[in-house]
A and B are shown apart, each in its own frame.
Chain A
């Protein structure tokens, strides 16, 4: 399926969430992060953070919280040919427990390219910007979603 171009016209609403200690601990433990700044509030404060520090890829769970605010389900991609090709993070301020963040998703680029075995591959970059209560930028996440070319028999 080609990209559903109507998604490019759409604005995706801002969403809000609170960064919770329990969710930071869970994320750190699953990845085996041994640094107590993610699990022990005193250790985090001793290291100069206001509260538990979120691991570097923590915001991953928030960018498609719900289909209303995420372009991904509206791209028209075949879920069986959808790949997460690249992921980029920019860090502007420490992300710690207790923060109330606002996030917003936007498509920042699209391109198509011929697949090696024929058919078209589609690349879409979705940027999620996270700001704090003062409106200051905390993190930016950019995911490149690829729809691989359909096998020739299906094209």
Chain B
């Protein structure tokens, strides 16, 4: 059996606590694999000619690929199945060759109806500092 990850402790998840994950460089193979896993076969994400005709320089990543990386950061930090909600706002495109740098921060730690909860603000940026996604989440941390 594989060992379970260690998640952040409640005492560590005070306001301002941060966590990071860097993924990349993103490859065209990542885009094709995500298309297969997610069922999103929009040709802008794999068909060079289609993407160029649609006004892009080349195929670009699905917003939900970076969204998936952000969710991975939060899930591996706070614990699996701990989310109450997750909201992603897509801001800029990710191109093959780009890095996806995900950062998350606790903005509120509180108790409500005997549940220990945290509110999180997170974003994903590329290596040029462009914000790709802004995210918020509420979670009941694992430990």
Contact = CB atoms under 8 A, between A and B. Distances in A.
Nearest to A33: B72
B68 A87 contact: no
A56 B75 contact: yes
A60 B66 CA distance: 13
Contact of A56 (B5, B38, B63, B83): B83
Contacts of B81: 37, 49, 53, 91, 94
Contacts of B39: 60-62, 64-65
B97 interface: no
Nearest to A87: B88
A32 B30 CA distance: 11
Contacts of B53: 80
A89 interface: yes
Contact of B84 (A31, A42, A91): A91
Interface string A55-69: 111001110110000
Nearest to A41: B1
Nearest to B91: A85
B4 interface: yes
A85 B64 CA distance: 11
Nearest to B1: A42
Interface in A1-56: 23, 26-27, 30-40, 42-43, 46-47, 49, 53, 55-56
Nearest to B85: A90
Given A31-B68, A31-B72, A40 B1 contact: yes
A135 to B, nearest CB: 21
A113 interface: no
Given A35-B5, A40-B2, A87-B88, A27 B63 contact: no
B76 A33 contact: yes
A133 interface: no
B124 interface: no
Interface of B: 1-5, 23, 30, 33-34, 36-40, 42, 53-55, 63-65, 67-69, 71-72, 74-76, 80-81, 83-90
Given A31-B68, A36-B2, A90-B85, 10 more contacts: A33-B72, A33-B75, A37-B4, A40-B2, A46-B1, A46-B4, A56-B83, A61-B39, A80-B54, A91-B83
Interface of A: 23, 26-27, 30-40, 42-43, 46-47, 49, 53, 55-57, 60-62, 64-65, 79-80, 83-91, 94
8 contacts: A31-B68, A31-B69, A43-B1, A49-B80, A55-B71, A55-B75, A88-B88, A89-B87
